[in-house]
Structure 1
Amino acid sequence: MMEGNSTAGSFSSLQQFSIADLVVIVAYFALNIAVGIWSSCRVNRNTVSGYFLAGRDMVWWPIGASLFASSEGAGLFIGLAGTGAAGGIAVAGFEWNATYALLALAWVFVPVYVSAGVVTMPEYLQKRFGGERIRMYLSGLSLLLSIFTKISTDLYSGALFVQVCLGWDLYLSTVLMLLVTALYTIAGGLAAVIYTDTLQTLVMVIGAVALAVRAFNEIGGYSNLEEAYLKAVPAKIIPNTTCHLPRADAMHLFRDPVSGDLPWTGMTFGLCVMATWYWCTDQVIVQRSLSAKSLNHAKAGSILASYLKMLPLFIIIMPGMISRVLYPDAVACVDPQECERVCGAAVGCSNIAYPKLVVELMPSGLRGLMVAVMMAALMSSLTSVFNSSSTLFTMDIWRRLRPAAGERELLLVGRAVTVALVALSVVWIPILQSSGGGQLYVYIQAVTSCLAPPVTAVFLLAVFWPRATEQ
């Protein structure tokens, strides 16, 4: 199945990495492993608090970096750039909306969670409402979301990037990246995850800025982007259709509430619901803030992450649009046979916008840096989800099944859950290849928009309405 969907053939002439590229990639992995080992030694990993909450001793700057890195996985690099290439800058609303939600997390929600003395979000709901059903339901829902919208999409997008750049088989790329990621997550716990996230944030920002500068120089600066984007049409089109044309409102952040693909009403009001769910109630994010040594450090970390979330429009989305301008026949293809030839997906090839830009524009050495950037994005997101999902299962489900379980057993179960999540996520990857109209970010948001609102409503009632009960 994978042979027929390979993208390698379309980029075969561009996949000759130099020694400098390989040195950069190897150096990144070596540094990443060193940071993981160092951070693992700083915290006692033989206790539940040490393994799942990093001993509650984290300072603000690694917390802020980890909050950013956890949300900017390979899925968002590929997905944001692809959606930008397909439809313009409005998708930046998903990133900018996070700035307000992050402040709400630190000033409103974290103090409540800390005062409740909880490790997981389902545990908070049980303490708040007094019943077991809601805790079990939310734990199960969170694990499903982790598999279908987080782990699997990051695996697919990261493997897609490596496949485009190196020509490796999609599943081979997936397995190799999983081995490195899962090993230090299983061994080091949350402390290793947060400190390696900090390194990966630095690598991501430096690499993405370098690529953005190169892309803007190639196109002649921002002033030329709007005009050139509206003319970025593939040579092979479908007669009597307009699907090959860029959107006329591509440079509008706020779009028509009726005809817009991302209407301003939904981006303003509806998105607040999803942002509250992700940034204020999701285990992956909240767990980082709960590891802070004090509320002041949690607040400072959220402020740092808020500033970092302003960057993706300029370093991910706009470069994706530039990729369409420079390579319209590949990135903007609409003919199913042509798209199948280019990227192996008949529904469209906008997902290759970012890796295509890297392969074509970056010189020797910097190309290796960008592969390291995508690996950093993938690994930072995966480690976060692995650790948080194992925390949910161990603390909320296993402890209910085995009330007498000791700390050693809980730690072993947490590590075993990570392995199981990896296997389940790999199975889901083929389905992603044919989902979302070729826009990975659309797939992620389509799933979460269905499941996030009820969870958000429950948490808002729990925090703001004392009279709310489980009934």
Structure 2
Amino acid sequence: MEAINTVDVMVIVLYLLCIVFVGLWFSRKKRQTSEGYFLAGKSLTWSVIGASLFASNISTVHLVGLAESGFIDGIVWGNFEWFSAFELIILALVFIPFYLRTKITTLPQFLEKRYDVRSRVVLAIFSILAALFMHIGVSFYAGAVVFEKIFGLNILVSIIIIATVTGIYTIIGGLTSVVITETAQTVILILGSLTITLLAIYQLPEIGIHTYDALKEAVDPDRLKAVSFNTEKKGFTFMDMLFGHLILGIWYWCTDQTIVQRVLGAKSEKQAKLGAIFAGFLKILPVFIMVVPGILAVALFQDEIGNDTKSVLPVMIMNLMPIGLKGLMVAALLAAVMSSVAAALNSCSTLIVYDVFDKIKPDLSDKAKINIGKITGGVVLVLSVAWSPFLGNLGAIFELINQMFSIFAPSIVAVFVLGIISRKGTANAAFYTLLGGSFFAACIFYVEKYMVIGGIENYISSPEGLGINWLRQTYIYFIISSTIYLSISYFDKTVQEIPAEFYLKVSTPSKLINYLSVLLVGVMLVLYYIFY
């Protein structure tokens, strides 16, 4: 394993010091009140919100996983990024008005206002567990694995270093620190990924590839088709990806505290909407700077990578990046880990303070809330560090994390979407949908992972069994959850009192927001036409 060059070490250390300094410097005024600490004093503008949404989403799982997916199957996996653009438009035009007009601090609080306290408790539990075990733990482990592959660093040592640096500015500074550092990390992420893409393109002529047609011939034209999918190889169809991702995407972008907390800290409704749409434009980039490098690796390093497809990104870093720029790429990888962890850590603290302690003792002072937030943030960080190394025994990280999200995401989406579009949904319907829909999905997950039925493992998703892959399962779970919700609402005679602000007449959206939304949809349609 190659040793880290001194110049690269200096770049990495300088990056870490700068991030901590920037995070603490910009947060020094906002953390004096609980609103300042948890919601950045509701002062966030569109550019910071958009960049923060992007950085919160892009983890090391993306950088490594998308490069690997590009190498194996091609640009089709970029749909997981491009579909997000449409889901961010849904966040801007449908969900943001409800969230900001109801003046909530957490999304479980939103469910209490729309339904009752039972749904708030269930969603708070789901959200805290997701942040602790999936958002933070998986990000730690995925980042540490990459550093081990590139530099031979011990996984636990890498996790502790990342956790310490991220914890300092996140726990001390609150949401302001998180979003400001995420804005800086967005730049680092894009620069690092763009650099390796350009260096790979620059290398192509050396192996006789001078045109786009020659590249298609070298890597297989199907790798450059966004709607092509080898169903025999993976068991997915494009429609599975479309509908399965729609459910996961609405949950993630529109109802997950880790993401939506940036929107709740917006200066105004218009700034929040513009931020979401800006993030939609940014989500176009990963296909070109994260998936495409994996496709280029087929032409450049196929023999070296062989069957070890998880080494696609590390191989490209070691072969393409000169001294100094290698440090930049490691900084980009660190940015991916730290931004995801910081976002989840901050949201977890907010959930615990407002949905646990504030319910137990409603008259908590601002100082008490901030102190509890810092303490719980530290506890969550320690727990995540303790359990994340065990992820090595759980198989493919990217698919695993999405499968785990699909356990509770469909029922949450059903409760939020149906509760917003209709007054008829009842509190009992929401509560039993969250429990029943998630319990059913959890049972299927258990059968898939740990049971053998008729001598066949993974019975439900295997061709020998029912042949229902996890993406298809996700939207089937949504249909089941919606059926539970609508059935109970129909027969439930309980009178549901809904606050007036839930269904206020919607004001005419800004022309700028409308134009940008149409432009974003237009750009996406052009991209799909090009890569059809």
Tell me the TM-score normalised to structure 2 length: 0.75
Alignment partner of 2:290: what SS?
helix
- Superposed, 1:290-439 pairs within 5 Å as 290-328=264-302, 331-333=305-307, 349-437=308-396
Tell which structure's C-alpha radius of gyration is larger.
Answer: 2
Q: Deviations over 1:237-267 (max 9, x none)?
A: xxxxxxxxxxx95433224595463311112
User: Structure 1 residue 91 and structure 2 residue 48: aligned?
Assistant: no
Quote the residue 1:56 is aligned against. 42
Seen in structure 2, the aligned counterparts of structure 1 residues 142 and 332 have a Cα distance that, compared at 3 Å, is farther
- The amino acid that maps onto 2:177 is A
User: Structure 1 residue 47 and structure 2 residue 33: aligned?
Assistant: yes
1:463, CA displacement in angstroms?
0.9
Quote the residue 2:240 is aligned against. 266
Quote the residue 1:174 is aligned against. 159
Quote the residue 2:12 is aligned against. 25
Tell me the TM-score normalised to structure 1 length: 0.85
Q: Distance in 1 between matches of 2:359 and 2:157?
A: 37
Aligned to 2:68, which of 74, 77, 82?
82
Whether contact under 8 Å (2:8, 2:327) holds in the other structure is yes
Q: Distance in 1 between matches of 2:304 and 2:173?
A: 41
- The amino acid that maps onto 1:408 is K
Q: Distance in 2 between matches of 1:250 and 1:279?
A: 28
Q: Deviations over 1:197-246 (max 9, x none)?
A: 0100011111111110111222346544444335xxxxxxxxxxxxxxxx
Quote the residue 1:456 is aligned against. 413
Gaps (5+ residues) in structure 1?
1-11, 231-247, 334-348
Seen in structure 2, the aligned counterparts of structure 1 residues 225 and 146 have a Cα distance that, compared at 3 Å, is farther
Seen in structure 2, the aligned counterparts of structure 1 residues 453 and 315 have a Cα distance that, compared at 3 Å, is same
User: Structure 1 residue 124 and structure 2 residue 107: aligned?
Assistant: no
Question: Superposition RMSD on alpha carbons, in Å?
Answer: 2.0
- The amino acid that maps onto 2:62 is L
Quote the residue 2:219 is aligned against. 229
Aligned residues: 422
Q: Deviations over 1:73-122 (max 9, x none)?
A: 22211222222223322211111111111111122111101111100000
Quote the residue 2:476 is aligned against. none
Aligned to 1:185, which of 143, 154, 170?
170
1:27, CA displacement in angstroms?
2.4
Whether contact under 8 Å (2:156, 2:389) holds in the other structure is no
1:418, CA displacement in angstroms?
1.6
Q: Distance in 1 between matches of 2:222 and 2:299?
A: 16
Alignment partner of 2:322: what SS?
coil
Q: Which has the higher contact order (CA 8 A, sep 6+)?
A: 1
Whether contact under 8 Å (1:139, 1:392) holds in the other structure is yes
- The amino acid that maps onto 2:3 is Q
Aligned to 1:466, which of 407, 411, 423?
423
- The amino acid that maps onto 1:73 is S
Gaps (5+ residues) in structure 2?
429-532
Percent sequence identity is: 36
1:155, CA displacement in angstroms?
0.6
Q: Distance in 2 between matches of 1:280 and 1:81?
A: 26
Whether contact under 8 Å (1:15, 1:359) holds in the other structure is no
Seen in structure 2, the aligned counterparts of structure 1 residues 16 and 54 have a Cα distance that, compared at 3 Å, is closer
Q: Distance in 2 between matches of 1:96 and 1:124?
A: 28
Alignment partner of 2:224: what SS?
coil
Q: Distance in 2 between matches of 1:80 and 1:389?
A: 27
Whether contact under 8 Å (1:279, 1:285) holds in the other structure is yes
Q: Distance in 1 between matches of 2:243 and 2:215?
A: 29
Whether contact under 8 Å (2:150, 2:318) holds in the other structure is yes
Alignment partner of 1:293: what SS?
coil
Q: Distance in 2 between matches of 1:321 and 1:83?
A: 9
Whether contact under 8 Å (1:35, 1:196) holds in the other structure is yes
Seen in structure 2, the aligned counterparts of structure 1 residues 135 and 370 have a Cα distance that, compared at 3 Å, is same
Q: Distance in 2 between matches of 1:41 and 1:69?
A: 22
